[in-house]
Amino acid sequence: MDSSNTDTTSITSFTINSPTNNNPTPMMMVTSPTGSSSSSAAASSSPTTLSRYENQKRRDWNTFGQYLRNHRPPLTLSRCSGAHVLEFLRYLDQFGKTKVHTQLCPFYGHPNPPAPCPCPLRQAWGSLDALIGRLRAAYEENGGKPETNPFGARAVRLYLRDVRDSQAKARGISYEKKKRKRPPPNQGQSSSAPLPPSS
């Protein structure tokens, strides 16, 4: 057997703190000789640098996987539902940096409040919406079927809509979709038509 053809993989050990308790959770990551993680098929199959979006998607997917492992009782991805996704989104709120005013706050509906207030910090709607989009794509890239994708569940869509509407009111910000500007008609085509004779 030729030793030059053998695949040598290494296992790197590291520790992540559990989101549900303070006990460190040991993690293992299998790494190929090129240094790419075996958890991502795209990363191990091509030596090209991943885009910022792909890197963020992989980090989000790993974070959600860690959340499922630390869930009590632990969950497998196949048993994950839209309700678990909602639980995950609510868990993430504790790390939010967006001030969302309560209805009792004098700054409710003001986009630029003049003074600090004790209202809670939450995840911004745009961040949650982008996160769900990345996780929805990652689920299908990792073998999940579109029809069983918990990130596309109706409950998740309704939750995101409620968050958007409540944050728009509380922060005095409109989340209307931006209309795309249509490109101007091609001037080259209209100038090629013959002009009527001038009299």
Percentage of the chain modeled with pLDDT above 70: 65
Cα R_g (the chain), whole angstroms = 24
Q: Of residues 47 and 56, which shows the higher confidence score? A: 56
Tell me the mean pLDDT in the region 124-143: 95
Which of 17-31, 50-64, 132-146, 155-169 is the least confident region? 17-31
Grade residue 48 by pLDDT with cuts at 50, 70 and 90: confident
Decide: 99 and 117 in contact? Cβ < 8 Å: yes
Q: What is the pLDDT of residue 176?
A: 67
Other Cβ atoms within 10 Å of 85 Cβ, number: 24
Mean pLDDT of all residues belonging to the chain: 76
Tell me the mean pLDDT in the region 167-173: 85
| Both structure tokens of 116 | 């600090």
Q: What is the pLDDT of residue 23?
A: 44
Grade residue 36 by pLDDT with cuts at 50, 70 and 90: very low
Cut 0.85: pTM above it: no
| Both structure tokens of 140 | 């299908």
Tell me the mean pLDDT in the region 192-199: 57
Residue 109's φ and ψ, nearest 5 degrees, are 85, 0
